Structures are given as structure tokens and as C-alpha cells.
Amino acid sequence: MTLLAALHKAHNCDPWTDRALHAFVLDDVQIGFVQPRVLDAIRQFLRETLSDVLVIKEDGAHDVVTLAHGTSRAQRTAAMSALVAWMRARRIFPDPLDGWRDEPYAVYARAHGSASRSHVAFTLERAACALFGFATFGVHLTAYTPDGRIWVSKRSRTKQTWPSYYDNSVAGGIIAGDAPMASMIRECYEEAGLTEEQVTPYIKQTGCISYFHKTDAGWYQPEMQFTYDLALPSTEIVLAPVDGEAESFELLDKDAVLERVETLEFKPNCALVVADFFARHGMLTFENEEHYTAILECIHTPLRLPTP
Amino acid sequence: MTLLAALHKAHNCDPWTDRALHAFVLDDVQIGFVQPRVLDAIRQFLRETLSDVLVIKEDGAHDVVTLAHGTSRAQRTAAMSALVAWMRARRIFPDPLDGWRDEPYAVYARAHGSASRSHVAFTLERAACALFGFATFGVHLTAYTPDGRIWVSKRSRTKQTWPSYYDNSVAGGIIAGDAPMASMIRECYEEAGLTEEQVTPYIKQTGCISYFHKTDAGWYQPEMQFTYDLALPSTEIVLAPVDGEAESFELLDKDAVLERVETLEFKPNCALVVADFFARHGMLTFENEEHYTAILECIHTPLRLPTP
């Protein structure tokens, strides 16, 4: 499979062009995408619970889900939490809700027409974000050695998502209240046993990638990953499993990494991080990759949703 | 001025949302944006010359300019050349045509619905591309020294565009038939006196940036710049003017470069290259820049036009 085709396993949809989706809107700014099956569930929830925070505005074929104007972050969080708990109790959407993690994610909004930085509208369980097409944010690290080899991890065979697939050196989702760099440094220890002293002198934030992923079950996941490089000073610093998320780590040369991407052995969004790393380091070039500009465009898909 | 505001001097429009524009289309794929004043000129040209290669398809408020199906690259190039020569002879659009450079640029197209690589539809004088909103492509190099200082050039005070503004270390447009890396290496010598032997061991392609620029005269310029880093091994390799495009070169530290970007002393699109360099090298981070994600999105605006 070509590299571009492999990357399209991660960025595989455009919810903005799916006419069947309804909008989740806050202060006149769209923050998510609601499928008809979810809208139906919200309608039933509202009939049963009489919530006055969560609101459906009927708008012909394209209804809008919103949260009542003037509500606080705590009120919005409580309303969304009640909705998701109700869905979970009724087992309406076992995929994705059976993947419950007890990790609150921040959902962002911003004032309409404003160029100002967005704010956290509310928090929501990680596993529930896909139900509403809310953007989620993560951190991905590529650790490499002076001889140009790259550390990759193999995901635990017992992980709910993408078991036994290759992953970047270290990666994780950003929990509400966390800043990307702090989150990245903590994950380095929890997943790979790299201490803050081993990481801090060599880690560099390098940008972010963004894309839309549609899961096999049809859920839309707008995602943005903050990327980091860790230029290890020697091969003596070794990544090793700590919390069991990663089963093992391997130090592979560039060609071996690329081959595993093209044979789809990498978790799809991790392949995007690999491509970005290769492009930034001059290993993927206009001259050696016929889909060069298409690949870069795929890595940098604008979400058109509020981001941190 | 904030960094984001400075970058919006370069990426300052979205022609896809300007309802006054007509489309330039080839094989059912849009390749440019035609303003009403240009459409009027094309109509007059067609009345006077009876060209059968260039065609206007009337489509109510939004007419479409196209080139007859089945024409060769040479025929298309001749037709566009005749149109532009006609405009130039009548001095209809002194801006931008007085900036004539005798540099043919490649205009790309691709088969409708195909994921295949695009092809060169025809070539057109560089100065004329803005008349039709055709995308243009360039190369921009950031040369830096082991102590982290960055080489910037000051554009000649006699240059037609952006005289005396700061520019990246070396930059130029890609002429039809050229590959980006070859173009970059040649510019390194022509502008800055860096020989191939000084450049080749240290140069790295790092990706590309893309954006839409609207000139003061109202012309839309979709642009993509291939970016390169040149990690010079010492401060003894010195950049110096050769062809007069650059008047002088300075070795500035990071803060001095950023300050000149924020005071708008940089040519706008070069500021985007600076921001991309800073982001890739961990100097611009989520933690130190409140508009971090907006800046990265601004640097990576999808053109939605065929690219090399």
C-alpha cells in the first residue's frame, strides 16, 4: 500500500460534507457533529428527564443540539454527564461507551466571530466524545537515536483499541486541565519509563497534526495531536514498558518504520505522526515521494472546530 | 502586533468564499479564480481574436473560464500567452503585468475525481498568474548556525515587490520544469553565494506551507512554499549578495527575528516561514504562544487547487 493510502486509514472522512449530520453548536459556533441515531437518543433523554440545559433547536432537516445560553461550565458538564450516563445505563451505544476510561476530556468553544483564544465549554468522558463528534487532543512523541533509528512501541495485546499495533514512541490523550508538554512528559514515564531528567533536556515540541477519523462503527473523531521530538543523546537510554499500555519497544531504522506503516501495522493516526516526522527531517521529500504535497495536506487537515 | 496578526498579513483572504469570483476550470477541476474585471477583458479578447482554445462557459452569475477539451499543453500555453500579451499591449492591468519577469511558471491541473498526481496544464508568465488566481510555488530556506542564530536577508531597495523588507535566508519562485530541491540549491548560489558543496551536506527539506494572499490591488495569490533548513556547521560560512536580489545578510538571534516579524519588517509570506521554522524547532510552543494552534492552521491552509 502507498504511504498516502496508509495515511488515509487515519484521515478517512470529512464530516463537514456529510449532509446527514446535525450540528452541536455553542454560542453560534459549531463544536461537534451529531448523527441521527444520537439525536434520537437525545430526544428520548429530554422527554424522560426534562433537562433545561441541553436543548434541541428544530431546524428542518438539520437540527441543532446546543446548551442553554448563560449556563456555566459546571452546568454544561453535569448535563452532558447525565445524558451519557443515561445512554450508558440503557446500553444504547456500547460502541463507544463500553470503552469508558474515567478520563474527562475538555471540549472547547469560542465566542462567535471572535479571534480570541477558545475556552473549555465543559468536560466529558473520553469515550463519549465520538458520540458527538467533539474534537479530542493528544500528544505523540518520536524518540530517536544519534544513528537515526526510531523508537516504536507495540501496543498491548489487551488494549481495547488497536491491540498489538505499532505506535509512536510515547503517546496519549490530553486530560482536561492538562497542558500538552506536562501531559507528554508524564506519559514518557508512565508508558516508557523515561524520567523527567532523561526527557526534559532533549524534548522539543514540533507542531501539531490534525485529521478526521471515522471508526468502523461510523463515529466521527476530529483529532489534533501535538507532536514532540526526543533526540536521545545515545542508545543507552532505553524505553521499556511501565504501565502496560505498551507491551514492548523496538529501535527500528527509517526503512523498517516506513515498511510497517505501509503494511498497516501501525495504528492509523500514529502513521500520520511518522509521516510528519519523516517530512520535517528531510527523509520524506518532494523528490522521493510522488504524493508529497497530498501527504502534507492530509497531515494538516483543518478541523474548523475550536481548539485549545 | 501579535505574531498571529503579523501572519495574517500574508494569509489574508479566502477566495473560496468570495462570491464575486468566477472559476477557472480545467477537466472539471477548478484551478484558479477569475475576477469580474478579468472576465470582461477575456470576453473582449475573445471578440477580437476569435480564439478557439480559451472558452467562457456562461453559467448565470458565475461564469467559468476554461480551455477547450483535448487541447495540448503547447496549445494552452499559446492561448494563455496570447491573452496576456493582448492585455499587456493594451495596458489593461499594469498591476501586476508591469512586474513582468520573463519567468514561465507551471500551472497544474488534474483529472476530475482522480487521486493521481497532477500534471502541468500549461505554463504562464509569473507576473500574470495573479490575474487568474493560479497557485504559484516557491522555495524558502532558513540557514542557521550552531549557536542558534538565523541568517536573514534584506531585499534590495530596488526590488519591485517588498523593497528593503527582511526575507528568509534564501527564497525564490519555482520556474516551470524545475524541481524544488534543484531550484533551492541554485538560488542558494545566485542570491547568497552559497556553493553546492556548502549546501548539499547540510540542507534538509522540511515540508511546505500554503496560504492565500490578497495583494493591495485586490489580486488573489494562492501560494505554496517548499521549506528547507540549512544547519550550517559554523559561522564561518557567510551568506553574501551575488545577484543583487538581496542587498545584505544579517545573522540574528531568535528574539531579533521574532521582533522584526511582529513589527512587520519581514515580507509577509516570509514571516510564515519564520513561524514554521520556530514551531518545528520547539521555539514556538503551545506553552509560550497563546495563538499556537491558530498559527499552525494559518501556515497550513489547504489551497484546494492542484499542486505539483
Answer yes or no: do B282 and A181 touch at CB < 8 A.
no
Please report, for residues A7, A105, A145, B279, the alpha-carbon distance to residue B291 in angstroms, rounded to integers and kept in the order given: 27, 21, 32, 12
Of the candidates A287, A146, A189, the one whose C-alpha atom is nearest the C-alpha of residue B228 is A287
Of the candidates B173, B134, B176, the one whose C-alpha atom is nearest the C-alpha of residue B305 is B134
Q: H-type helices in chain A, by residue range?
A: 3-7, 36-49, 73-89, 94-97, 180-192, 196-199, 254-262, 268-280, 292-299
Residue B51's pLDDT is: 86
Name the residue facing A308 among B229, B285, B293 (closest C-beta). B293
Query: Are B227 and B209 contacting, i.e. CB atoms less than 8 angstroms apart?
Result: yes
Measure the CA–CA gap between A170 and A151, rounded to whole angstroms.
9
Chain B residues lying within 8 Å of A291, measured CB to CB: 117
Name the residue facing B302 among A226, A286, A297 (closest C-beta). A297
Distance from CA of B243 to the nearest CA of A (A): 27
Q: Which numeric CATH code is attached to B17-132?
A: 3.30.750.160
Q: What is the DSSP string of B20-75?
A: TPEEEEETTEEEEEE-HHHHHHHHHHHHHH--SSEEEE-BTBS-EEEE-TT--HHH
Q: What are phi and psi of A230, to 5 degrees?
A: -125, 100
Q: Which numeric CATH code is attached to A19-132?
A: 3.30.750.160
Measure the CA–CA gap between B171 and B271, rounded to whole angstroms.
12
Domain A3-13+136-299 classified CATH 3.90.79.10? yes
Q: Give me the residue spans of the domains in chain A.
A: 3-13+136-299, 19-132
Answer yes or no: do A180 and B287 touch at CB < 8 A.
yes
For B171, the 3-state DSSP assignment is: strand
**Digitized pLDDT (tens) for each residue of chain A, 308 residues in all:** 999 999 999 999 999 999 999 999 999 999 999 999 999 999 999 999 988 999 999 877 789 999 999 999 999 999 999 999 999 999 999 999 999 999 999 999 998 766 667 999 999 999 999 999 999 999 999 999 999 999 999 999 998 889 999 999 999 999 999 999 999 999 999 999 999 999 999 999 999 999 999 999 999 999 999 999 999 999 999 999 999 889 999 999 999 999 999 999 999 999 999 999 999 999 999 999 999 999 999 999 999 999 99
- C-alpha count within 13 angstroms, C-beta hemisphere, residue B42: 25
Measure the CA–CA gap between A254 and A150, rounded to whole angstroms.
7
Residue B59's pLDDT is: 78
Give the total residue count for chain A. 308
Task: Report, as an integer, the average pLDDT of B228-236.
Answer: 97
Chain A residues lying within 8 Å of B308, measured CB to CB: 286, 293
Distance from CA of A113 to the nearest CA of B (A): 14
Of the candidates A74, A76, A81, the one whose C-alpha atom is nearest the C-alpha of residue A31 is A76
